A and B are shown apart, each in its own frame.
Chain A
């Protein structure tokens, strides 16, 4: 519960009086204020700095060090104060958390020191308020990365004999510094890539004349040599590709990766050429294919970090680049059209068509100005100058935008991922808090019932099961219970399917069927209240039931080992429902639904098996309050017999 709102609980409970005349069922009893003390100031001495606060302020969060009895360990009898030998600066934030319900993270504080303090005081960092949460997470991540980097560089020196041969190979491929062999392999492949690229280039250089024929490029003059070189390179590349394919942890993913596609494209032309040398018709196409050999240069990106980063940033700014291209195209088309029509009149004009004018426009807008196409008419010259001026603008303007977009998008992507991960974590913790608090409500109910049962049966066992819940919690639960009684409904688990989830335990399935059964029966019995209540209300002292009587519902769970307990109260509380499908032991903890008729009891409200009230109180997730001891009711309360308490068992009674 939010800190300040706890103080309004008396108001909420008082307002519940407004439900009383409307309710048809009797209300549960209020939790007694057993440890009622007058609110007192307590002094917390943290390394000499004295903080004072009300006791109730600290008790708002009973599962932290200061809110629980753990602080008694730090009580100094002589000075009558609690002494903590910790950092007073951080304590200030911790104490403010109790006061305001919000935990802040001071920026000047070291992240690990802060974490240590929070751990000491039993506060989970997840509850840091929104204002400081991002900063906290950022710093934490930085710290973690720093530590991880250190660890990595350490780890690299170690040998890992546990890796398989395949994994060692993959590691060698990815990180050439792991072993000497990997380094050798790295340099060899690099060398051959360079050789291949240079070969492709030199192939086309004219090599001097052979007497009797025109100048030949080197490739054709020394074709055998070049062919051998090419073969050697392609062999190396093929072997490398196959080895990588073998070593890859996920072959399918490897095949789809960019680098492997480049590899394939780089070596394909050679093989296709081998296959196709016989057929003269397609040799033209074959020659075109050789162009793809230039892609071998991209294989260098494995060797160069910078290339990879460049590729990534280009990819991430694709939309910006696309926009630039689009706007340029628009401008080119406009100006080309204008120039064409302007120059149409002049004779011997080079502007023969609009596409022909494209070339002029591009050359002019990029301020190249080759001069192969020049406007001759006056209108043409005017538009030509406008074209070159606007060219400067069109190109110069988007470029800084793109550059800044680069950095913005890059960082934004990182932050979006970060936020997504944080959101997941936050939702998870909220869910945990919810189930925790719902467990708390049900535990308290169950334990409360158990205590009454034990008391009534006079067992010498310990009365108080689990830790006592804070008074505020128990009062809140009582309030919710009253609401349930008023309306005749009960809270269900968040996930309506949860209570009817089929499980592997057949007993549990039995419960599910039962629930369905009950559901059906209830729906048929819904019309009871209006007919029954007048008669009931005429009986003095009888409880008016808000719901139909269900004498049949003395449903004994066949697998229950528990003796049927006698119900001596007007109230009928069915309990226990298995929340999860976890443990078979849960079956033993089911209580039987109540018997009424044979006890000559007055009509009871219908029973049902329901689970969990959800109280999404934003408390720290580690909710531990289990139950509270309920005072022996004035009128005998409902009995349930629960020999074993499985922590997952949650249930709610319904009336």
Chain B
């Protein structure tokens, strides 16, 4: 059994490519390497790690979508560079970049459009993370309603799909969303 080890590019290069400082990159890498000594994380490990934060629900579906959003080159494994690039966008990027990343997350088949089925899957995955014991008890059509609300908000021309521009426009109109996007500024 060969142990494939991925090593990231140098610290300076990463610092240049992302919005993190050297120290932050060091901390990130130490955590990354601790959990994935081989230097790359596959989907299984990804799901396990993410599931630890949501012990009472099933975080596997959302982790699956997340993984595919992180794995931009669709290689099946997320290396440290991909990881750090995505984190840089999410934590330090501009609003535009964050929204674009989120659009990419929702667009499961990466065709540039979000349709209702994709949104349904995402919303269902989010609800799954809550688990069974919630109050109020999750009803069958709650996710569907949630998706309908979302589409009513986002789909400007009511053609049943949300394009990137519609998405950006709608989100920028919504103060709540704008505010919550800034929530994790100081995460590092």
Contacts and interface: CB of A to CB of B under 8 A. Distances in A.
A69 B114 CA distance: 51
A439 to B, nearest CB: 15
A458 interface: no
B177 A20 contact: yes
B17 interface: no
B184 A487 contact: no
A10 B28 contact: yes
B34 A4 contact: yes
Interface in B114-138: 122-123, 126-127, 129-131, 133-136, 138
A437 B126 CA distance: 22
Interface residues of B, number: 66
B183 interface: yes
A438 to B, nearest CB: 10
A113 B49 CA distance: 35
A30 B149 contact: no
B44 interface: no
A11 to B, nearest CB: 6
A324 interface: no
Given A10-B188, A39-B27, A27 B136 contact: no
Interface string B170-188: 0100111101110110111
Interface in B42-67: 49-50, 52-56, 62, 65-66
B79 interface: no
Contact of A479 (B53, B91, B131, B152): B53
Given A22-B126, A489-B135, A30 B176 contact: no
A610 B134 CA distance: 8
Contacts, number: 183
A4 B52 CA distance: 11
Contacts of B7: none
Contact of B52 (A5, A533, A614): A5
Chain A, interface residues (CB within 8 Å), range: 35 or more
A615 interface: yes
A22 B49 contact: no
Nearest to A537: B153
Nearest to A498: B133
B49 A8 contact: yes
B102 A21 contact: yes
B90 A15 contact: yes
Contacts of B146: 22, 24, 487-488, 529, 546
Given A30-B184, A492-B133, A22 B150 contact: yes
Given A4-B31, A616-B55, A16 B150 contact: no
A305 interface: no
A519 interface: yes
B35 interface: yes
B31 A8 contact: yes
A534 interface: yes
A244 interface: no
A10 B187 contact: yes
B184 A13 contact: yes
Contacts of B101: 17
A9 B154 CA distance: 30
B176 A17 contact: no
A166 B89 CA distance: 80
A26 interface: yes
B175 A492 contact: no
Interface string B79-122: 00001001100110000001101100110000000000000001
Contacts of A610: 135
Contacts of A533: 149, 152-153
B72 interface: no
30 contacts: A4-B31, A5-B53, A7-B28, A10-B28, A10-B187, A11-B87, A15-B50, A17-B90, A17-B184, A18-B105, A19-B126, A21-B150, A22-B126, A26-B176, A29-B183, A487-B130, A489-B138, A491-B131, A492-B134, A496-B133, A519-B136, A523-B136, A529-B145, A530-B145, A540-B175, A544-B176, A608-B136, A610-B135, A614-B55, A616-B55
* Cβ-closest 10 pairs across A and B: A7-B31, A14-B90, A492-B133, A489-B134, A610-B135, A4-B34, A616-B55, A27-B180, A20-B180, A12-B53
Given A7-B32, A18-B66, A490-B135, 19 more contacts: A2-B52, A4-B35, A5-B52, A17-B90, A17-B181, A18-B122, A21-B106, A21-B167, A21-B171, A26-B180, A39-B27, A484-B130, A487-B129, A492-B134, A527-B145, A533-B149, A544-B174, A616-B55, A617-B55
Interface of B: 23, 27-28, 30-32, 34-35, 49-50, 52-56, 62, 65-66, 69, 83, 86-87, 90-91, 98-99, 101-102, 105-106, 122-123, 126-127, 129-131, 133-136, 138-139, 142, 145-146, 148-150, 152-154, 167, 171, 174-177, 179-181, 183-184, 186-188
